Structure 1
Amino acid sequence: MSSGTSELAWLKSSYSGTQGDDCVEVAIAEQAVHVRDSKDVARPSFAIGREGWGQFVRFASER
């Protein structure tokens, strides 16, 4: 993805607790979902296509 991630609106799961420990954050963009480590937001994030993200969510919700 060519756009930077600094302007994205990052979301953290409500299950991550108030300590902010061991969680990921996601940002939904037009063509992809970006994922990053909430403990180290300076590290690069990665992006997955929206279709791939949907497949992951469906798979995870079946568990």
Structure 2
Amino acid sequence: MIAASPEPHWFKSSYSGGSGTECLECAYIPHGALIRDSKCIDGPTLDVRLSSWRLFIDSVRHGAQPSP
């Protein structure tokens, strides 16, 4: 018998606005992260692979600018 996977633990950034109108939530999963709109928790999620998530976080952390 295979045990059911636990539900992801969703969290918001401490930098999120206090009005609740512009927030994303993230959840870590074994192969990366999930991202969703906090106003639509039953809506679609974006599944990001670990290597891409790390690259994104490093870019944000170091202030990288997007490519044109």
Q: TM-score normalised to the size of structure 2?
A: 0.74
Higher relative contact order (CA 8 A, sep 6+): 1
Whose Rg is larger?
2
Pairwise CA RMSD of aligned residues?
Answer: 1.6
Q: After TM superposition, what 4+ stretches of structure 1 lie above 4 angstroms from structure 2?
A: none
Structure holding more helix per residue: 1
- Name the amino acid aligned to 1:38: S
Q: TM-score normalised to the size of structure 1?
A: 0.79
Gaps of 5+ in 2: 1-5, 64-68
Number of matched residues? Answer: 58
